[in-house]
Amino acid sequence: MVERKKQMSRDRVSRLINWGHWFAFFNGLLAMIVGTRYLSSVGYPETWFGWGYLAVSTIGQFSFLAFIAYLICLFPLTLILPYSKILRGLAAVIATLSLCLLLYDTIVYADYGMHLSPFAFDIAWADLSALLHGTSYIVTPIAILAIELTAANFLWKRIEKIQKLNLGNKVIAFVGVCFVSSHLIHIWADAADITEITRFDDTYPLSYPATARSFMESHGIDGSSQINDEATQASNTLSYPIQPLQCQADSKSNVLMLTIDSLRADMVDAKTMPFLHQYTEQNQSFTQHYSGGNQFKTGMFSLLYGLQGSYGDARIFNNTSPLMIRSFKQAGYELGLFIPETNLNLRSAQAMFNDFTPVIAEETNGSAEADILSVGHFKQWQSAQQRPWFALVNLKAPENFDTPVGFLGIETVKADPNLKPAQKVLFNQYRQSLNFIDKQIQAIVSELPSDTLVVITGVNGKIFTSNSDEALRNLSPESVRVPLVIHWPNALASKVNYRTSHYGVVPTLMTHVLGCTNNTSDYSAGRSLLQPSKETWIYIGDSRIFAIYQQSEITVIDRHGKYRIYDENFEHRLHKKMSAPELIQVLREGRRLYNH
């Protein structure tokens, strides 16, 4: 009798486990339906292999999530409470909560571009009223619960018939093949840089696609090829600009944008850079100016596009050049680009320089020699122009602490005692490089026509290290605060002491040179430099790690939502919670062009 009861108990538990597996599979299907909402944020595939990858990835990922949820929440309850009525009710409630959480994650992802985490949840909770509209957040959970209860009872009553069909192993095999295939396809796509596939990397929650670029290359598989067909066409989910431009230039001044890699604002002094220091005093200088990033690709992106570096990964910018440059071209300007060869490969947006006629300086003998070539190329090009022109001259020597052979430079000075011995050496070598660049700036600017509008700024700042990883992660003021001086023809010298950023350069030139009357928010994250910005923050960085510069603190955030808050000088870490209102504005700005 006892054995019979044990056997009946085992059979009941076995039936409940079988039922639980099918219930989890059903919820995996529901999760796939909810998961399609993520695609409205990132855009749909445009090729058959993109759709194929997305199909197997969706099936594998959401089936896996449903099974994990079953294993953690439902399976233990099956052993503790092996009573079908209780278990079905609890399972329906758990599944409803899980699907509502997934649905809420799709809302947060659409609005902020990130999945739920303790960090994201804090922000979303503070902005709850804006995220949840109408009464759908009440009706939807009730509807889901009704579906779950119906499905739970339906499967329980028919579990024996379902088992007789012997579909279990086939379904498991199919889901397993999809899961493994999605990772294998992603390994290949990562190695071959197939953006049609890799752009979905962060789309689904808890998704960590396998990568093996070095493994593929070590086995003789070429990872450098690109798919140059319709897969690289721009996604139509991003509006840039939001409204068509209305521009009419009254007069056409020549424009020179002179950008120097790794130029710190606090190093432009009378001893190190005498010409630029004097030039700053004689023109409009911006004393509290910040780049949009701590490296070339984010700094240059913010300077030419006027958008946050988080947009730099959008596929549309592989085919869409900066609106400002296109507008100068449409206004009849000749466009010239003078740049070191390696910087062409560092740009985040592949179309960043497409509208220019490029003159590339080889770096065989170092960055300083390449800068000398660029200066010579520009002077030769400028003297031959018959029409109004816009030129971008990019100099790189300070990035590598470089000077040409035989350069005498300036005498060394005592470095900050807080610097390490190796940093003190780099400090003085950096000064030598800046002094060399100062002479190149003088060689260019002193021979320009008087009616030329000149913009001189740093692409990014500089910390004294030879460790590239350290420089990449560092978002301190030394890495991002740069000089900005603008020479307006026939204008008096002035100093702007309110805080400005690279995001304001595009609106300034579009408004005051090209005569564009659009609201600057149609095409930029910034406002004209000639008036204080209403925003109390500046976004600096890309989508992987970024900093929010506020008036009295700096918050550094990584892609997983981990953050640290520092004082305004980046010297002390502050143990406090982040201010939600400013962060909500930052995240919304990073998604604004996707929402039109």
CB 319 within 8 A of CB 299: no
509-540 exposure pattern, b = at least 16 Cβ within 10 A, e = fewer: bbbbbbebebebbbbbbbbbbeeebebebbbb
CB 543 within 8 A of CB 529: no
CA 10 to chain centre: 54
Give pLDDT, residue 48.
86
Q: Which range among 50-59, 188-197, 311-320 shows the weakest confidence by mean pLDDT?
A: 188-197
- In DSSP notation, 476-502 reads SHHHHB--EEEE-TT---EEEEEEEEG
Domain ranges of the chain: 2-232, 255-594
Residue 304 amino acid letter: L
Average pLDDT over residues 113-136: 68
Q: Which range among 127-141, 151-165, 346-360, 479-493 shows the weakest confidence by mean pLDDT?
A: 127-141
- Which one, of 102, 59, 95, 103, lies nearest residue 74 by Cα? 95
Q: With bands split at pLDDT 50, 70 and 90, how would you rate the model's confidence at 47? A: confident
Strand partners, 548: 539, 555
Give pLDDT, residue 6.
59
Per residue in 74-86, pLDDT (tens digit) is 888 888 777 788 8
Per residue in 20-39, pLDDT (tens digit) is 888 989 999 999 999 888 88
Sequence-ordered list of residues with C-beta below 8 angstroms from that of 571, at least 6 positions apart, any chain: none
Strand partners, 547: 540, 556
**How many C-alpha atoms does 257 have within 13 Å on its Cβ side?**
23
Sequence-ordered list of residues with C-beta below 8 angstroms from that of 231, at least 6 positions apart, any chain: 46, 47, 49, 50, 194, 195, 196
H helix runs in 411-564, sequence order: 421-445, 468-473, 477-480, 505-512
Sequence-ordered list of residues with C-beta below 8 angstroms from that of 300, at least 6 positions apart, any chain: 259, 347, 348, 352, 394, 459
CB 506 within 8 A of CB 486: no
Per residue in 174-226, pLDDT (tens digit) is 988 998 988 888 888 877 767 778 778 778 888 878 775 444 444 444 443 33
- Homologous superfamily assigned to 255-594: Alkaline Phosphatase, subunit A (3.40.720.10)
Average pLDDT over residues 505-528: 94
pLDDT at 300 over 90: yes
Is beta strand 494-501 parallel, antiparallel or unpaired with respect to 284-290? parallel
CA triple 525-529-532, angle to 5 deg: 90
